[in-house]
Structure 1
Amino acid sequence: MTGFDAPASGWLLKRCPVLGDVWRRHWCVLGFDEEEDTWVLDCHAEKSRKLVYHIPLGMGARVLTKQWPTALAKHQQQRPCSFLLDSGEGRLCPFFLFDAVSQDSLSTWQGALSTCARELRRRLQTEEEKNRTELIAAIFSALDQEGQGKLWSVEFRRYAESLGFAGSDAEWNGEFNEICEDRGWKEDSSITLKHFTKFVSKDEKMEKEHLQEVLEGLKGERELPVSDAWARQSVASNLVKLKSRSDIITAMFNCLQNVDTGRIGCSELRRYAVLSGFEGDADEWAEEYEDLCADQGWSKDTGISRLEFAGLMKDEQMGSDEELKAILMELRMSPKKRRTFDQMSQLAGKTASRNRVDVTELDRSALVAEAFRCLDVRRKELLTSREFRRYAELTGYDEGEEFWEEQYEELCQEYGWTPEVGVGLREFEEPWRGKGAQDGAPTQKLPDQPKNSGFMLARAWHC
C-alpha cells in the first residue's frame, strides 16, 4: 500500500465477548495487509504479545461513538472513552468493543480507523466502477459482432432481450424510438460505446454479477439468466413509476431541454405549451414566451434552467400530475409518431376549453366515454393494464404495483376481457352497467379541476 499512511498503535482495553464484562489489555496495531489487500487491526496479548485478534476491515467499516446497539449501550455509559468498531462486510458479528482509556487516545484511534475505512471504501468503489465499466464494454463488444464499434437497433434489441424484453418487432420499434427520444439519440444513427455505457450505468440496481451472467449468455457460455431488469430501463415502464410531481417535472425537463445548452428555450417550451392548450402561431408564441420570461424574471435569450422550470411547474395550475404524465408520454413519442403541432393544438384546445359546467351537463354514458378518452393516452382506443391502473388508482385502488396484475386479471376474468388485447370503450362501460345507473341519471360531482385541466375522471371504482 503506497501513497497513504494512517497507521496507529497503542494500548487498548478490549471487551472479551465470552467473559461478559471482563476487559483485557491488548497492544493494538492498525496497518495494511498486502495479502488481504485491506486494513487490519491486530490485537496482541499484554504479556506474551501473541496475536489474539486479527480484524480485517471490509466494505462499510466504521467507528461508532454514539448510536450503539441497545445491547451494548450500557458499556458506553460505563466507559466514556470507549468506541465500537464495526468491521463491515465479511463477518457474521462485525462489532468489536474497545476502551481507549483517555480522550486523547480515543481521538487518535477514532481518526485513524475512520480514515482507513474511508480510504478503503473509496478504493473498493473505484475498483467496482472500473470492473463494471470493463464488463459493460465487453457486453458491447459481444453485441457488436461485426466489430464496427457501434450498435444498431437490432443489436441493441439483443441486450434488451437478455434483460427480459419479449415483445414483437412492432413493440420493439416503439420501445427503441422512446429510448432514443428520452436519451436524445437519433433513431437513424448508431449507438456508441459511450451511449451504451451511460444507458447501462443508469440502472443502479444492475449488479456486477448480473452483468457477468449477461455477458456469458451473449457469448453462448451459459443460458441467459431469467430477468425482468429491462422494466427498469424501459421508458414506458418508468413513466408509470414516476411517483412524485418532482419526478414528472424532472423527466419533462429532460425531454424538452436543448441538448447543446441544457436549457429550455423558446422553441422547446412551445412543445409543452401546444400540448397543454396553446393555439397560436409562431409569432404569437414568441410574444407569449417573452412575456412569460419578463414576468418570471428569466432571460429569454439564455433560456430556462432546470430549477426555474421546476419552480414554474410546481404550481398545479400548470396541470395535474396525471395531465403532466400524459404530456410527458407525448414528448417521448417518436417524431414519426408524434402529432403535428396543429393536430395537437386542436386536440389540446378542445380539452382545455371544456370546463366543469360542461362536464356536469354530460349524461352518465357520455361521462364514461370522456373518462375513457382521457385515460387513452396512447390514442389506440384500447386501455392497457397500465392505463387502466391509472383509472383504478384515481378512483380508490391503493394496493400498489405489486398486486395490480392479479387484480387486473381478476377483472378480465369477471367481465370476459382479453388481458393481452386491452380494454376498449365497450368493455370499459361494462362495470357501469347493471348498477342502477341509467343514461340521464345524475352524475357524481367531479373534483375541482385545475386551470387548463384535460382530465375529468369519473370516480366510481367502488360504485
Structure 2
Amino acid sequence: MTGFDAPASGWLLKRCPVLGDVWRRHWCVLGFDEEEDTWVLDCHAEKSRKLVYHIPLGMGARVLTKQWPTALAKHQQQRPCSFLLDSGEGRLCPFFLFDAVSQDSLSTWQGALSTCARELRRRLQTEEEHLFRSKLWSVEFRRYAESLGFAGSDAEWNGEFNEICEDRGWKEDSSITLKHFTKFVSKDEKMEKEHLQEVLEGLKGERELPVSDAWARQSVASNLVKLKSRSDIITAMFNCLQNVDTGRIGCSELRRYAVLSGFEGDADEWAEEYEDLCADQGWSKDTGISRLEFAGLMKDEQMGSDEELKAILMELRMSPKKRRTFDQMSQLAGKTASRNRVDVTELDRSALVAEAFRCLDVRRKELLTSREFRRYAELTGYDEGEEFWEEQYEELCQEYGWTPEVGVGLREFEEPWRGKGAQDGAPTQKLPDQPKNSGFMLARAWHC
C-alpha cells in the first residue's frame, strides 16, 4: 500500500493465537469513506473475497508496536503498522499492515486505535453479558414453570427446583444451559409445538399466557405420587442413583441406596460388600450396574417393599443441602432396618409409638417438622403429594391443638394413638398398618 492519497489494496497478515506462528491473510482495501468521513480498511476473506471486517481507521496510521515477527523477516525494509482486532476467539490480537503513512499522522492514528480498542472491548463485554443472559437461573426457570401451571409459594418453588436439579443431575448453584433446557422441554412428549409457541408469546408479553397444567407432567414431586408399579419406582431410583457421565451405578452411587437401606459400615467395608455383590451377580465392578441389572436386583421384595422404596426415593430426591448426611441416615435407616421382626413384636404399644417417633426425628430435636411428619404419612397411606400436604397438616394440628410452627413432640405424637386399642395387649405389630385402612385423612385414620 502506498498511503492515503488514493484507495489501495494489499494483504493484511493476521496471527491466530490458537495456531501459534501460523498467519492468516486477508485481502484489504484501504480508502476514504465519504459517508463516515474517515479512512476505512475493508478486509476480505482470502478465498471467497467476502467482506470480513470493516474498520474505521481515523485520519492516519502509524506503527504502534515494535514487535517484529520472524515470519515477516522478508519485510524488514518496511516497518509494519498494527492495530487491534478481535481474533474470533474472544481475544485482542495484533494485525500488521505495511507501507504505513507518514509520521505526521501518528497522533491521529493513535486516537483512532484507542477508540477502536474501546469499542471492541465494549462489544466483547456486551457479548459476554449476552452469553451470561442466555443461561437460565432458578428465577428465570420459575417463569417458565408458572407459564405451564406452577402456582406454588417461594418455598415450594425452591423445593421443586431442588428436586428437578437432583433428578436431572443439574447443579443448584449453576445455571441451566440451552442444552439442559432443550432436553427438559423435549422430555414432555405431550407438549405440542403450538402450545409451546403460545407460551413463548406469553412470556414475551405478546398475548395472555394459556391456561395449562403441563407443569404437573414435569414436576418431580407430582411424578413421585404417580409411581404406581414397582417397575416405575425402580426406574425412578436408577435415574436418581446413576452416574451422569457413565449412565450406570457404580460403587459410590449404590452406597447411597445401601446406607438408606440399613448399611452401617465404612467406605472400606462397603467396597468389599460391593465387590462381593458384583461377583455374586456376575457384574463388572469397574463398569458399574446397568439399568437392566439394577431392575433385576430390585425386583426381589427382600430389597424392600414398594412403600419402603418410595420412602428411599424421596430421600434420594432431596437436595444436597437438605439431605441428611450419610452418617445421620445410617443411624436412622441402619438401626431401624437392623431390628428383626421378633424385636418389634416384643415392644408394647407405647414403646412401639416411641420407636416410630425416634426414627422419624432425624434431626434429633425431639420435635417433628411438617416434612418429617409427612414422611410418616406417606409411609402409611398418604398419596396426594406436596400440593395438599400443608393443608392436611394444618387440619391435623387444629384438630389436636398442636402448633404447626413448633412441631410435634413425642407427647403430641402419642395422642392420636390413645383411646381405642391403646391399652397394653393390643396387637402392636399391626399398628403401622392401621392408618392405611382409611385411605387417608391421617387424623381420621388414627381414630380407626
TM score, norm. by length of structure 2: 0.58
Paired residues of 1:81 and 1:106 also in contact (CA < 8 A): no
Aligned-pair CA distance for 1:167: 3.2
When structure 1 is superposed on structure 2, of 57-66 and 414-423 the one drifting more is 57-66
Paired residues of 2:62 and 2:81 also in contact (CA < 8 A): no
From the CA coordinates, give the structure whose radius of gyration is larger. Answer: 2
| C-alpha distance 289-215 of structure 1, shift in aligned 2 (>3 A) | same
Aligned-pair CA distance for 1:306: 0.7
* Structure 2 unpaired stretches of 5+: none
Question: Following the alignment from structure 2 to structure 1, what is the Cα–Cα distance between the partners of residues 301 and 5?
Answer: 55
In the TM superposition, what whole-angstrom CA distance separates every residue of 1:279-323 from its partner, at most 9, and x where no partner exists?
Answer: 222222111111111111111121111111111111111111122
When structure 1 is superposed on structure 2, of 351-360 and 218-227 the one drifting more is 218-227
| C-alpha distance 221-305 of structure 1, shift in aligned 2 (>3 A) | same
- Are positions 1:68 and 2:68 aligned together? yes
Aligned-pair CA distance for 1:184: 0.9
| C-alpha distance 96-269 of structure 1, shift in aligned 2 (>3 A) | same
| C-alpha distance 121-407 of structure 1, shift in aligned 2 (>3 A) | farther
Paired residues of 1:217 and 1:224 also in contact (CA < 8 A): yes
* Structure 1 unpaired stretches of 5+: 130-147
Secondary structure of the equivalent of 1:39? strand
Secondary structure of the equivalent of 1:94? strand
| C-alpha distance 274-249 of structure 1, shift in aligned 2 (>3 A) | same
When structure 1 is superposed on structure 2, of 271-280 and 75-84 the one drifting more is 75-84
Question: Following the alignment from structure 2 to structure 1, what is the Cα–Cα distance between the partners of residues 428 and 72?
Answer: 63
Question: Following the alignment from structure 1 to structure 2, what is the Cα–Cα distance between the partners of residues 43 and 385?
Answer: 68
| C-alpha distance 64-74 of structure 1, shift in aligned 2 (>3 A) | farther
| C-alpha distance 69-15 of structure 1, shift in aligned 2 (>3 A) | closer
| C-alpha distance 18-349 of structure 1, shift in aligned 2 (>3 A) | closer
Paired residues of 1:352 and 1:453 also in contact (CA < 8 A): no
| C-alpha distance 337-344 of structure 1, shift in aligned 2 (>3 A) | same
Question: Following the alignment from structure 1 to structure 2, what is the Cα–Cα distance between the partners of residues 179 and 202?
Answer: 13
Question: Following the alignment from structure 1 to structure 2, what is the Cα–Cα distance between the partners of residues 61 and 241?
Answer: 72
In the TM superposition, what whole-angstrom CA distance separates every residue of 1:97-116 from its partner, at most 9, and x where no partner exists?
Answer: 99999999999999999999
When structure 1 is superposed on structure 2, of 24-33 and 257-266 the one drifting more is 24-33
When structure 1 is superposed on structure 2, of 164-173 and 105-114 the one drifting more is 105-114
Question: Following the alignment from structure 2 to structure 1, what is the Cα–Cα distance between the partners of residues 366 and 80?
Answer: 71
When structure 1 is superposed on structure 2, of 104-113 and 403-412 the one drifting more is 104-113
| C-alpha distance 303-210 of structure 1, shift in aligned 2 (>3 A) | same
Aligned-pair CA distance for 1:364: 2.3
Aligned-pair CA distance for 1:451: 22
Cα RMSD (Å) of the superposition?
A: 20.1
Paired residues of 2:57 and 2:113 also in contact (CA < 8 A): no
| C-alpha distance 44-309 of structure 1, shift in aligned 2 (>3 A) | same
In the TM superposition, what whole-angstrom CA distance separates every residue of 1:223-268 from its partner, at most 9, and x where no partner exists?
Answer: 3344443232222222122111111111111111112211111121
Paired residues of 2:357 and 2:413 also in contact (CA < 8 A): yes
Paired residues of 2:225 and 2:384 also in contact (CA < 8 A): no
Secondary structure of the equivalent of 2:101? coil
Paired residues of 2:80 and 2:98 also in contact (CA < 8 A): no
| C-alpha distance 222-349 of structure 1, shift in aligned 2 (>3 A) | same
| C-alpha distance 170-398 of structure 1, shift in aligned 2 (>3 A) | closer
| C-alpha distance 64-346 of structure 1, shift in aligned 2 (>3 A) | farther
Secondary structure of the equivalent of 1:263? coil
| C-alpha distance 241-271 of structure 1, shift in aligned 2 (>3 A) | same
When structure 1 is superposed on structure 2, of 20-29 and 307-316 the one drifting more is 20-29
Paired residues of 2:167 and 2:240 also in contact (CA < 8 A): yes
- The sequence identity of aligned pairs, in percent, is 100
Aligned-pair CA distance for 1:163: 2.4
| C-alpha distance 450-372 of structure 1, shift in aligned 2 (>3 A) | closer
TM score, norm. by length of structure 1: 0.56
In the TM superposition, what whole-angstrom CA distance separates every residue of 1:325-362 from its partner, at most 9, and x where no partner exists?
Answer: 22212222222222222222222221122222222233
Aligned-pair CA distance for 1:405: 10
Question: Following the alignment from structure 2 to structure 1, what is the Cα–Cα distance between the partners of residues 253 and 122?
Answer: 40
| Match of residue 270 from structure 1 | 255
Question: Following the alignment from structure 1 to structure 2, what is the Cα–Cα distance between the partners of residues 418 and 400?
Answer: 22
Paired residues of 2:85 and 2:120 also in contact (CA < 8 A): no
| C-alpha distance 199-30 of structure 1, shift in aligned 2 (>3 A) | farther
Paired residues of 2:31 and 2:41 also in contact (CA < 8 A): yes
Aligned-pair CA distance for 1:162: 2.0
In the TM superposition, what whole-angstrom CA distance separates every residue of 1:112-136 from its partner, at most 9, and x where no partner exists?
Answer: 999999999999999999xxxxxxx
